[in-house]
Amino acid sequence: MIKISELKTDKDGFNNLPARAEIEKELEALPIEFVDLIEQKYWQNENDTIVLRIKTDESKGGSFNLARGLIIGEFANRYNADELDFIEVDDKIIVRLWWD
C-alpha cells in the first residue's frame, strides 16, 4: 500500500554530500511526490533514502511519461546515487534512490 510521505533528510542525509541543499531544491521542481510503502522499510523515506512516485499524465502518452522517468535517472546519475531501484505498485511506478 502506498502512503503519501515527505522528504526526510537530516544534516547527515545523502552521506554528507556537499550538494544536499541543491538536491532538496531540485527535487521540489521535479514531477514527483514522496511516498512510503506501508510495512516495507526498504521502500520508506529516511536519511539517505528517497522514495518517490513519478507523476504521470496518461492523456499525453507513453513518451511523455518515459521522459519523466528519465529525468529521475539523470538526477540520480548527476548526484551520484549509489542505488536506483523501482517497482510497480497499484499501476504506479515507485522509485528508490539511496546514497551509501
- Quickly list DSSP for 49-99: EEEEEE---GGG-HHHHHHHHHHHHHHHHHTT-SEEEEEEETTEEEEEEE-
What is the pLDDT confidence band of residue 12, given thresholds at 50, 70 and 90? Answer: low
pLDDT tens, position by position, 49-91: 889 998 888 888 788 888 888 999 999 998 888 999 998 888 8
Which residues are within 8 A (CB) of 77 and not within 5 positions of it... i.e. 6 or more apart?
Answer: none
On the question of pLDDT at 46 being above 90, the answer is no
Q: Which domains does the chain have, with CATH numbers?
A: 2-98 (3.30.1710)
pLDDT at 73: 92
Report the 10 Å Cβ neighbour count for 72. Answer: 22
On the question of pLDDT at 93 being above 70, the answer is yes
pLDDT at 43: 92
